[in-house]
Amino acid sequence: TNPVFTGVETTIFERMSRLAKDHDAVNLGQGFPDVDGPADLVEAAAQALRTGQNQYPPMLGLPELRKAVADTNKRFYDLDVDWQREVMVTSGATEALADSILALIEPGDEVILIEPLYDCYLPMVQRAGGVVVSVRLTPPNWKLDVAALARAFTENTKAVLINNPMNPCAKVFSDGELSEIARLCVENDCYAICDEVYEHLVFEGHQHRPLMSYEGMRDRCVRIGSAGKTFSFTGWKVGYITASANLLEPIAKAHQFVTFTTPPNLQQAVATGLAKDDAYYAGLAQDLQKKRDRIAGDLASLGFRVLPCDGTYFVTVDASPLGLEGSDQDICLRMVQEAGVAAVPVSAFYVAEAPTNCIRFCFCKQDAVLTEAIARLSAWL
C-alpha cells in the first residue's frame, strides 16, 4: 500500500513560487510581504537569542506572549481571556489548525468548510477521519447563502471551520452573516474553528469581529491568529490560539505531540509587537489598502473584472472579459511563463466544480514591484 499522501499535489503556493523562480517572474502568487516588518521586533528577537533564550520554552508558550494575546483580545474585541488557561502559542496558524483538528475531530465527524477554502483545511480534516461538507461561495460577491449553510448541518456536525477575513476571496463576513453562523452553531451544538489570521488586515468600511464575540460562541470557538500576518514576518511561524479552557486542554495535548513548542526568541519579539500602539495597527491596514487601490485600478484598466476586496493580502479578478483561452489554471501557467508574472488560480481553493475564471493577485509588495508586474501584464495582453 502507498503512504496516505501519495498522489497529493504540492501546494499551489509552492508550485507557483517555484515557477516564478524558474521564469524569473514577478511573484504575486504566494502571500508574503516583500519588505520586513518592524525593525524593533527583529532586534528583540536577536537580542533574545544573544541573551540565552535558546532552550525549550514552556509548552503553552512564553507567559509574556500569552499575556499579550489575552490583552489584545480585550483591547480590540472586548473579550475577557484568562491567559493562563485560555491561550496557547503554536508554530504558525497552520499548527494551530492541525492541533485543533487533531483534538476535536474524530473519524466520522462532519466538518463544514466554506469554499473557496485555504489549502490545508481539506487534507487535515480528511486525515483526521472527518467528513467534509462544503458550502460554497461564488464570485462576484462571495455572499454566504445562509439557507445552504443551514442545510449543511446534520446530527453528525462536529465543527464549522471558518476563515475570516477570507483567503483567497478577500471577504470580510458581515455582522449579519456572522450572527447567522453563530446561531446555527448554537442550534446544532457544534464547535467553530476560526482562522482569523488576517484579523488586522481589514480595509475601510469593514470591521473584523471574531465569531467568538457572538452570543453563545465564547466557549465554542477556537480563535486562531498569526504573527506572520500581523507583523509581516510570514517566515517566523508564530501563531496563537484563544479558546475556553475545556477546548484548549485537548488542543494542547495535540500540540505537545506535534511541535511541543515554538522558538522562544520569536515568541518574545511577538509579545513586544502585540503591545504596539493603535497607529501601528491602523498603519498596517492603511498601507495595504493603498496597494489594493492601486493594483485594483491597474488590473481594471488592463481589462480584468476586479472583485470586491475587503481585507487580506489578496485581490481576485474575473479574467473572462479579456477572452483569454483556457481555465484560470491555464491562464496562470501562461502568465508566469510568457508574461513573467505569477498569480494563483482561484479554482485551486475549491474541492470540486470550481469557477474557473478567477485569479488571485497578492499585493503586499513594494510599489516598484507592482508597477513592474502591471507593465509586464500590459505588454503580454
Task: Name the site residues for ligand PMP (rule: CB under 6 A).
Answer: 31, 92-94, 118, 163, 167, 195, 197, 226, 228, 234, 237, 239
237 binds, among ligand GLN, ligand PMP, none (CB under 5 to 8 A by kind): ligand PMP
Which residue has 480595509 as its cell numbers? 203
210 binds, among ligand PMP, ligand GLN, none (CB under 5 to 8 A by kind): none
Estimate the crossing angle of helix 92-104 against helix 245-258, to 10 degrees: 110
Residue 170 CB, nearest distance to ligand GLN (Å)? Answer: 11
Query: Between 191 and 233, whose beta carbon lies closer to ligand PMP?
Result: 233
232 binds, among ligand GLN, ligand PMP, none (CB under 5 to 8 A by kind): none
196 binds, among ligand GLN, ligand PMP, none (CB under 5 to 8 A by kind): none
- Among the listed residues 239, 241, 248, the one whose alpha carbon sits nearest the alpha carbon of residue 270: 239
Which residues of the shown chain bind ligand GLN in the complex (CB under 6 A)? 11, 13, 30-31, 167
Q: What is the CA radius of gyration of the chain?
A: 20
Residue 54's contacts (CB-CB under 8 Å, 6 or more residues apart) are 264, 265
Query: Between 67 and 237, whose beta carbon lies closer to ligand PMP?
Result: 237
Query: Between 73 and 167, whose beta carbon lies closer to ligand PMP?
Result: 167
Residue 11 CB, nearest distance to ligand GLN (Å)? Answer: 6
Query: Between 184 and 364, whose beta carbon lies closer to ligand GLN?
Result: 364
Residues 149 and 73: their CA atoms lie apart, in Å, by 28
Query: Between 311 and 340, whose beta carbon lies closer to ligand PMP?
Result: 311
Residues 289 and 310: their CA atoms lie apart, in Å, by 9
- Burial string for 26-58 (b: 16+ CB within 10 Å, else e) reads bbbbbbbbeeebbeebeebbeebeeeebeeebe
Residue 155 CB, nearest distance to ligand PMP (Å)? Answer: 29
268 binds, among ligand GLN, ligand PMP, none (CB under 5 to 8 A by kind): none
Residue 116 CB, nearest distance to ligand GLN (Å)? Answer: 11
The cell for 134 is 462544503
Query: Between 251 and 343, whose beta carbon lies closer to ligand GLN?
Result: 343
Residue 365 CB, nearest distance to ligand PMP (Å)? Answer: 16
93 binds, among ligand PMP, ligand GLN, none (CB under 5 to 8 A by kind): ligand PMP
Residues 50 and 64: their CA atoms lie apart, in Å, by 18
Query: Residue 260: how many CB atoms within 10 A of its CB?
Result: 11
Q: What is the DSSP string of 234-292?
A: GGG--EEEEE-HHHHHHHHHHHHHHTS---HHHHHHHHHHHT--HHHHHHHHHHHHHHH
Residue 170 CB, nearest distance to ligand PMP (Å)? Answer: 11
13 binds, among ligand GLN, ligand PMP, none (CB under 5 to 8 A by kind): ligand GLN
30 binds, among ligand PMP, ligand GLN, none (CB under 5 to 8 A by kind): ligand GLN
Q: What is the DSSP string of 104-134?
A: H--TT-EEEEEES--TTHHHHHHHTT-EEEE
* Residue with smallest beta-carbon separation from ligand PMP: 92
Main-chain dihedrals φ then ψ at residue 74, nearest 5 degrees? -70, -50
Q: Where are the beta strands (DSSP E) in the chain?
A: 26-27, 87-90, 110-115, 131-136, 157-163, 191-195, 221-226, 239-243, 305-306, 314-318, 341-342, 344-345, 358-362
Q: Which of helix, strand or coil describes residue 61?
A: coil
Residue 35 CB, nearest distance to ligand PMP (Å)? Answer: 17
Residue 92 CB, nearest distance to ligand PMP (Å)? Answer: 3
Main-chain dihedrals φ then ψ at residue 70, nearest 5 degrees? -60, -45
Residue 185 CB, nearest distance to ligand GLN (Å)? Answer: 25
Query: Between 167 and 265, whose beta carbon lies closer to ligand GLN?
Result: 167
Query: Between 11 and 327, whose beta carbon lies closer to ligand PMP?
Result: 11
92 binds, among ligand PMP, ligand GLN, none (CB under 5 to 8 A by kind): ligand PMP
